Amino acid sequence: MFNYFRHEIEWGGRQLVLETGKMARQADGAVLARYGDTIVLCTAVGARQAKPGQDFFPLTVNYQEKAFAAGKIPGGFFKREGRPTEKETLVSRLIDRPIRPLFPAGFRNEVQVIATVLSHDMENDPDVVAMIGCSAALTLSGIPFFGPVAAARVAMIDGAYVLNPTRSQMAESRLELVLAGTAEGVLMVESEAHELSEAAMLGAVTFGHAAFQPVIQAIVALAEHAAKEPWALPEISEAEAALESRIDTLARAALADAYLERGKQARQEKIAAAKKAVMESLAAEGLDTEKAKAGFKHLEADIVRRAILETGQRIDGRDTKTVRPIVAEVGVLPRAHGSALFTRGETQALCVATLGTAQDEQIMDALEGEYRQHFMLHYNFPPYSVGEAGRMGSPGRREIGHGKLAWRAIHPLLPAKDKFPYTMRVVSEITESNGSSSMATVCGTSLALMDAGVPLSRPVAGIAMGLIKEASGFAVLSDILGDEDHLGDMDFKVAGTEHGVTSLQMDIKITSITPEIMQVALDQAREGRLHILGEMARAITGARSDVAATAPRITVITIPKEKIRDVIGTGGKVIREIVEQTGAKIDIEDDGTIKIAASEPERAQAAIDRIRGIVAEPEIGVIYTGKVVKTADFGAFVNFLGARDGLVHISELAQGRVNKTADVVSVGDAVRVKVLGFDDRGKVKLSMRVVDQQTGADISDKVGSKGRREDGERAAE
């Protein structure tokens, strides 16, 4: 019934198992990938025909995590998986990026790749397993695919590289790097690092590429038994070749002139005019204008790439190493806690930092369990940033991916939570874009956080590198433009400080690049990054000494753990009352740490005084201010020290004989009492009579104003 095949290897200290033929048999390719007890079902399906007139390759990759994989029931009202989480979106991009360049040019059939997490052992992350499984599924499917691809995760622990670290090992690592590639070279890198050197980063990539070679061999071995007949490769017909030749004749001169224009908008207008003229001529000749679009793009690429390799001069007139002019400004929004406007050429990011309390942390519901994030970075790319009118909606995959890249670049430099107890959110609004808006976000975020008073260890900057590679040679480009990104062979983003790299992301559009090219790119990126940091220092060199006046002030105090329930009160009654009456936000942690936040210092102090009053222990002989909360025939009950009650016996209410309690005090009266001692049940015995013997001046000097005595002061007998 099943045409079942299985291949197993030992890899990184665990067994990697690839199975096919039992599940999802109607897909073109289906592989069950297992690493430890983490299992991912990966499928690939392709349309047999391309849609008429389609001039792009419609590849869709979907990574999805099922709650049952971790023995959980989804939260929320509907109790089923809903829209993709941030991680699902990011891993979908992670799978897409290395496989997309490996489909043949001219292939326009729709392809859908789906990776479904069926089991998660809480130690082996499913992302690398999914990447390997999807590559294997495509390799078996018969769909034209120049793979296989393999992937790996690399950590650095105690100065040594570690292959596929477990979750517990990652807590000790200074590096988290995921890479993918073919047997020939690396195609994709995604990483976060704690200021590692360029040599260490390159070493990690080289280590990872060598480490995943057995996985490629395992996929090939599985394919030898289970691969389907390959589809025919798309061929360029004589008519299509003739069409491209005709486009070259009609458009080369006009396009070459357009690319001499230094400004983006003026250049795009000339390109659009040249394209319109070509299409009109082709239509008049009875040729297919839809098929001509691809030929026009090929001609653009040829003109730009040839000019760079032959002259060393780029579209905007720069050489290969020069960074565009930079203007960095901070404090641009008066009511924001921190803000920055970072402009590099025709790319601009408005970054705004907001500080909050622990109540503002983002709750993440992942397969590994619920956790909280106290730093959020949200990237937005509105259509006006590129001079277009477009649909506005929720963030897409690109926006989520760029935001996470900038998050990784900044995250290693953030202060420890116990040193800076704020929740931080940065929003990056891309107001202009002509290449490398994610790296502008890194720079703008660093500036905005420092403007907000966040004590970053050091400023962080980022730069995007490009590559033009032909048989005649290659050129690495610093600070690439949008057109150089689209028409080039590499998008290589490096972020870091003057001390080292904090994030590296690489996408290769050709089959692979050599270590020599990566070394050149890293060295050139370091030069550019140091230049950008120098320009940023013109605006601000370090964090401001204090947070903005509009930001909440957080005070941290510690109380004994056994007093936590006294501060919270039954059903939260006490803490709610303090919040309502003082206007402060209060967060209580299990270890007795309490964070009090308020925009006005007096509100915070009022809350602190109330809490300290609750947890303080009465001292014999000390005078306190309190309030009468109940009267009885035998005396009055007085509330003091926040939630503490004590009894003033009728004999201690005043000098001389007192017939009725009501003759001396009423409920609600503010009174001063002295602690006489404690009864057998631990109840506090108070006296007003002794206090009354003293002068008002003596009492006011010794009694605290908030229901407690000032530290170190004792009332005279």
Tens digit of each residue's pLDDT (9 = 90 or more) over 467-487: 998 887 899 999 999 888 888
Sign of dihedral through CA atoms 610, 611, 616, 618?
positive
Question: What's the rounded Cα separation, in Å, for the pair 715 and 377?
Answer: 54
So what's the pLDDT on residue 643? 66
Answer whether 600's CB lies under 8 Å from 568's CB: no
Is the CATH number of domain 5-226 3.40.50.150? no
Looking at the chain, the whole-number percentage of residues with pLDDT higher than 90 is 63
Question: What's the rounded Cα separation, in Å, for the pair 511 and 519?
Answer: 18
* Residue 7 banded pLDDT, cuts 50, 70, 90: very high
Name the residue with tokens 């209060």.
Answer: 586
Whether pLDDT at 711 is above 80: no
Sign of dihedral through CA atoms 406, 409, 413, 414?
positive
**What is the enclosing helix (H) or strand (E) of 626?**
strand 623-632
Whether pLDDT at 714 is above 50: no
Answer whether 465's CB lies under 8 Å from 494's CB: yes
Question: What's the rounded Cα separation, in Å, for the pair 561 and 591?
Answer: 6
What is the CATH T-level fold of the domain 553-615, as seen in this structure? Ribosomal Protein S8; Chain: A, domain 1 (3.30.1370)
So what's the pLDDT on residue 416? 93
Residue 78 CB coordination number (10 Å): 8
Token pair for 528:
């550019």
Q: Of 161-165, 308-312, 697-701, which one has max mean pLDDT? A: 161-165
Looking at the chain, the whole-number percentage of residues with pLDDT higher than 70 is 96
What is the average pLDDT across 89-98? Answer: 97
Residue 87, exposed/middle/buried by CB under 10 A (0-12, 13-18, 19+)?
Answer: buried
Answer whether 292's CB lies under 8 Å from 247's CB: yes
What backbone torsions phi and psi does residue 109 show, to the nearest 5 degrees?
-70, 140
Q: Are strands 644-649 and 670-678 parallel, antiparallel or unpaired?
A: unpaired
Strands, sheet with 150-157, edge to edge from the N-terminal-most edge strand: 160-163, 150-157, 175-181, 186-193, 501-508, 490-496, 461-470, 473-478
Question: What's the rounded Cα separation, in Å, for the pair 622 and 673?
Answer: 8
What backbone torsions phi and psi does residue 486 show, to the nearest 5 degrees?
-65, -35
The residue among 551 and 599 whose pLDDT is bigger is: 551
DSSP helix/strand/coil, 673: strand
Question: What's the rounded Cα separation, in Å, for the pair 60 and 366?
Answer: 23
What is the average pLDDT across 505-530? Answer: 91
Question: What's the rounded Cα separation, in Å, for the pair 618 and 620?
Answer: 7
Token pair for 496:
């870091």
**Which ranges of 667-715 would DSSP assign to H, the alpha helix?**
689-692, 696-702
Answer whether 379's CB lies under 8 Å from 399's CB: yes
**Is the peptide bond preceding residue 148 cis, with omega within 30 degrees of 0?**
yes
So what's the pLDDT on residue 243? 83
Question: What's the rounded Cα separation, in Å, for the pair 368 and 122?
Answer: 6
So what's the pLDDT on residue 642? 65
The residue among 563 and 714 whose pLDDT is bigger is: 563
Sign of dihedral through CA atoms 469, 473, 477, 481?
negative
Whether pLDDT at 696 is above 60: no
Residue 551 CB coordination number (10 Å): 20
One fold for both 5-226 and 326-536? yes
Token pair for 355:
């500080």
**What is the enclosing helix (H) or strand (E) of 43?**
strand 38-46
Q: Considering only CA atoms, which of 561, 615, 552, 560 is closest in space to residue 586?
A: 552
Question: What's the rounded Cα separation, in Å, for the pair 597 and 587?
Answer: 9
Name the residue with tokens 């047997």.
Answer: 183
So what's the pLDDT on residue 694? 55
Sign of dihedral through CA atoms 320, 428, 95, 364?
positive
* Residue 94 banded pLDDT, cuts 50, 70, 90: very high
Task: Note the CATH architecture for domain 623-702.
Answer: Beta Barrel (2.40)
Token pair for 327:
């203007």
Whether pLDDT at 116 is above 70: yes
Token pair for 354:
């907001």
Whether pLDDT at 532 is above 80: yes
Strands, sheet with 59-65, edge to edge from the N-terminal-most edge strand: 5-11, 14-20, 29-35, 38-46, 111-119, 59-65
Token pair for 552:
């909440």
Question: What's the rounded Cα separation, in Å, for the pair 17 and 448?
Answer: 47
What residues are paired with 156 via a beta bridge?
161
Question: What's the rounded Cα separation, in Å, for the pair 662 and 650?
Answer: 10
**What are the tens digits of pLDDT across the range 657-679?**
889 999 899 999 999 999 999 88
Question: What's the rounded Cα separation, in Å, for the pair 9 and 359?
Answer: 47
Q: Of 224-233, 455-464, 687-696, which one has max mean pLDDT? A: 455-464
Q: Considering only CA atoms, which of 12, 8, 15, 28 is closest in space to residue 134?
A: 28
The residue among 297 and 530 whose pLDDT is bigger is: 530
**What are the tens digits of pLDDT across the range 346-392?**
999 999 999 999 889 999 888 888 889 999 999 999 999 999 999 89
So what's the pLDDT on residue 451? 97
* Residue 702 banded pLDDT, cuts 50, 70, 90: very low
Whether pLDDT at 296 is above 70: yes
Q: Are strands 160-163 and 501-508 parallel, antiparallel or unpaired?
A: unpaired
Q: Considering only CA atoms, which of 185, 165, 183 is closest in space to residue 174?
A: 165
Q: What b/e readout covers 315-341, taking b as 16+ CB neighbours within 10 angstroms?
A: bbebebeebbebebbbbebeebbbbbb
What is the average pLDDT across 102-111? Answer: 92
The alpha carbon of residue 253 and the mean position of all alpha carbons in its chain are separated, in whole angstroms, by: 45
- Poorest-confidence range of 376-385, 519-528, 681-690? 681-690
What is the CATH T-level fold of the domain 326-536, as seen in this structure? Ribosomal Protein S5; domain 2 (3.30.230)
What is the average pLDDT across 100-128? Answer: 95
Q: Are strands 423-432 and 347-356 parallel, antiparallel or unpaired?
A: antiparallel
Answer whether 430's CB lies under 8 Å from 349's CB: yes
Token pair for 596:
């009090």
Question: What's the rounded Cα separation, in Å, for the pair 86 and 171?
Answer: 21
Token pair for 586:
């209060």
DSSP assignment of 454-511, as one string? ---SS--EEEEEEEEEETTEEEEEES--HHHHHHSSEEEEEEE-SS-EEEEEEEESSS
So what's the pLDDT on residue 706? 36
| Residues in the chain, overall count | 717
Longest dimension (CA), the chain: 120
Token pair for 59:
């590849």
Q: Are strands 375-380 and 423-432 parallel, antiparallel or unpaired?
A: parallel
DSSP conformational letter for 196:
B
In the chain, where are the structural domains located? Answer: 5-226, 238-311, 326-536, 553-615, 623-702
Whether pLDDT at 193 is above 80: yes
Whether pLDDT at 506 is above 50: yes
Whether pLDDT at 254 is above 70: yes
* Phi/psi-derived region of residue 376, left when phi > 0, alpha when psi is between -120 and 50, beta in every other case: beta
Residue 79, exposed/middle/buried by CB under 10 A (0-12, 13-18, 19+)?
Answer: exposed
Question: What's the rounded Cα separation, in Å, for the pair 61 and 93?
Answer: 7
- Mean of per-residue pLDDT scores for the chain: 90
The residue among 56 and 411 whose pLDDT is bigger is: 411
Whether pLDDT at 717 is above 70: no
Predicted TM-score (pTM) of the model is 0.85
What residues are paired with 192 via a beta bridge?
176
* Residue 697 banded pLDDT, cuts 50, 70, 90: very low
Type of residue numbered 366: A
DSSP helix/strand/coil, 345: coil
What backbone torsions phi and psi does residue 141 show, to the nearest 5 degrees?
-75, -25
Whether pLDDT at 458 is above 50: yes
Token pair for 203:
């070493």
Assigned CATH for 238-311: 1.10.10.400
Whether pLDDT at 713 is above 50: no
So what's the pLDDT on residue 479? 95
So what's the pLDDT on residue 698? 36
